[in-house]
């Protein structure tokens, strides 16, 4: 029987890491998934954010699922909910056998089970099929999930370096914000930015994101201003928040990554009032 401590222990190898699997369903169609697990509500929830195929043809990858796992004291069971990009919801119960986890749910007219079978701290066997509690009656997919190497912060930094390089543009106030991102010779992520109105550049800035020890930092250098340094205080599969309460505006810089664009939100205090601006960037090259 699950208890909250057992839930956390069962997911402990998975938490804070990205897990990746590829394979083929029984009908030959491709399977691809990357899952990032984290805790929320002070450990009351396990959240799973999944990347996978986001079109019916299974040719385009993006944010596919958002899942929640939670111990329900009223029913004395572990429940899960899985929301997908197509508007669907899969829900059911989970069972545990040591560090092996099984998701039980109904799909169409079938009662299915997804199994994460613990192999070691870097590998889980993965099956989808019909399980009667003792053995598999049918298997529709069989593959393995492997932990993506590196710490969670390193994984987030890699994600930023995979997504941001290139030239980007966003509408901003009465003009346009143009940015160029690249990875320098030291492996750091660098950016130059210009804000222009009516064809005239009125603002220039530079940014650098780098991993220093166990900290991911953002260094901002705005023309005619002192450098400002922010530390990553929150990150997940698609978002990183840089924060420094020594500054009033901005004190927080958030990058949210999408399949083919990104958003930067800056927040702080302006004229003693909370302020927040979001810029949505699309690639121009």
Same domain for 207 and 238: yes
State whether 141 and 29 are in the same domain: yes
pLDDT tens digits for range 217-233: 999 988 777 899 999 99
Residues 10 and 128 in one domain: yes
Backbone angles phi, psi at 151, to 5 degrees: -70, 165
Confidence of residue 75 (pLDDT cuts 50, 70, 90): confident
- Please say which residue of 92, 117, 147 terminates a domain: 147
- Overall residue count recorded for the chain in this entry: 285
Domain count, the chain: 2
Task: State which residues form the domain around 261.
Answer: 152-283
Indicate whether 19 pLDDT > 70.
yes
Cβ–Cβ under 8 Å, residues 63 and 85: yes
User: Which residues are CB-contacts of 144 (< 8 A; sequence separation ≥ 6)?
Assistant: 21, 119, 123, 124, 125, 126
Same domain, 17 and 124: yes
Last residue of a domain, one of 129, 147, 165: 147
Residue pLDDT, tens place only, 102-160 = 999 999 899 999 999 999 989 999 999 999 999 999 999 999 999 987 777 888 898 89
pLDDT reading at 1 higher than 60: no
Residues 171 and 189 in one domain: yes
pLDDT of residue 3: 60
Contact (CB, 8 A) for 69 and 46: yes
Shared domain for 182 and 142, answered yes or no, is: no
Domain co-membership, 115 together with 191: no
Each residue of 261-285: pLDDT tens digit?
999 999 999 999 999 999 999 999 8
Instruction: Answer yes or no: do 158 and 143 share one domain.
Output: no
- Give mean pLDDT, residues 51-64: 87
Q: What does the buried/exposed string (b/e) look like for 132-147 if buried means 16 or more CB atoms within 10 Å of the residue's CB?
A: eeeeeeeeebbbebeb
Those residues whose C-beta lies under 8 Å from the C-beta of residue 255, and which sit 6 or more positions away, are: 160, 239, 240, 242, 262, 263, 264
Residue 173 belongs to domain with CATH number: 2.40.128.20
For residue 222, the model assigns a pLDDT of 83
The pLDDT of 177-188, averaged and rounded, is 93
**Among candidate residues 89, 114, 147, the one where a domain is terminated:** 147
């Amino acid at each position: 029987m699950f208890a909250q401590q057992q839930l956390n222990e069962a997911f402990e190898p998975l938490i804070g890491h990205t897990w990746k699997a590829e394979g083929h369903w029984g009908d030959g169609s491709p399977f691809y998934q990357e899952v990032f697990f984290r805790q929320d509500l002070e450990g009351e929830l396990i959240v799973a954010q999944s990347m996978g195929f986001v079109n019916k043809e299974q040719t385009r990858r993006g944010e596919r699922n958002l899942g929640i796992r939670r111990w329900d004291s009223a029913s004395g069971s572990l429940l899960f909910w899985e929301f997908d990009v197509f508007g669907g919801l899969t829900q059911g119960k989970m069972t545990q056998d040591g560090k092996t986890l099984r998701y039980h749910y109904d799909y169409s007219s079938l009662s299915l089970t997804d199994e994460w079978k613990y192999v070691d701290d870097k590998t889980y066997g993965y099956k989808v099929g019909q399980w009667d509690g003792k053995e598999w009656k049918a298997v529709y997919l069989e593959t393995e999930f492997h932990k993506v190497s590196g710490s969670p912060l390193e994984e987030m930094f890699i994600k930023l370096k995979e997504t941001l390089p290139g030239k980007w543009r966003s509408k901003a106030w009465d003009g346009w914000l143009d940015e160029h991102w690249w990875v320098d010779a030291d492996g750091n992520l660098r950016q130059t930015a210009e804000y222009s109105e009516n064809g005239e550049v009125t603002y220039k800035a530079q940014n650098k994101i780098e991993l220093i020890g166990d900290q991911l930092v953002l260094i901002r250098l705005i023309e005619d201003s002192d450098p400002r340094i922010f530390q990553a205080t929150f990150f997940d599969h698609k978002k990183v928040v840089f924060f420094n309460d020594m500054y009033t505006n901005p004190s927080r810089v958030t990058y949210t990554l999408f399949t083919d664009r990104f958003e930067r939100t800056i927040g702080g205090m302006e004229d003693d009032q909370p302020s927040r601006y979001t810029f949505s960037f699309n690639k121009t090259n």
